[in-house]
Amino acid sequence: AQRAEVEVGGGALVRVVAPYLVLGVGALLLWRRGSVLAVVALLAGYALPGSVRDVAGHVDLRGERRERLIPKGAMEAGRWLRAHSAPGDVVATDLHCRYDWWQVCDSRHFWVSGFSERRVLVEGWAYAESTLSRARPFVRSYLAEPFGDRARLAANDAVFVAPTAENVRTLAQKYGVKWLFTGINPMLGKYARLRFKNATTSVYRLPGR
C-alpha cells in the first residue's frame, strides 16, 4: 500500500519565515508614509504563526522528521473501508487532531474521510463555517476553536475512550454511525465487529448496522 508522509528539512523553516520578515520591514517603512500597502502587508503577516507551527511540527533542532502526519497503513485501511461500505454510510473516528503534542487541537485532519470517501461524524472542523465564524482575527486563531457541537463530540469520543453497549448503541441509533475507524483499540472488540486491521489502523462495524 502507498503511504503519505511529509518530510521537511531544517532549511524549510527559514524559507517560510524569511518572506514574512521582509513583509514586516516593508510594512514598517510604508507605514511611515501612510500607505495602504502597509495594511495589506500586516494582514499577510497574520498567517505567519500558523505557517511556522505547520513547519515546526515536522522539524527538530537536528533537522530530522519528528512525526508522520498520516500513519503507515492508513491509506490501506481507508481504501478497504471504501470498498466494503456504501456511499451513504457514516463513519466515527477518534482521529481529530494533527498533533497530539500541541497545546490545542489542530483540527485540520481530513485523511479519514479523504481515503475512505465516506461521511465522518466528527473529524476535522478547522475550515467549517461555524468554526471560522467564532474565530477572532488577531485575538484567537480558528485553529484554537473547539468543535461546535460538544454533545456530539462527547458521544463520539466516549465510544473510543470507554466503550459500553449503551454508548455504542447511541452512536448507531442517534447519529446513524455504521463504522468505527481508529488506531489499535482492543476494547472495541466487545461491542463492535473487527473487520479490518493492520499495524496502525483498525476498522469496526457496529452491530445491527
Is the model's pLDDT at 10 over the cut of 70?
no
- Which residue is associated with the grid cell 493492520? 198
- Cα 98 to Cα 107: distance, rounded to the nearest angstrom: 6
CA-to-CA distance for 153 and 63, rounded, in angstroms? 36
Q: Read off the pLDDT of residues 169-192 as tens digits, 9 standing for 90 and up.
A: 999 999 999 999 999 999 999 999
Buried b (16+ CB within 10 A) or exposed e, 51-68: eeebbebbbeeeeeeeee
Residues 6/111, Cβ–Cβ less than 8 Å? no
pLDDT in tens, 31-75: 555 555 545 444 555 444 454 444 444 444 344 444 468 999 999
Question: Per this entry, what is the length of the chain?
Answer: 209
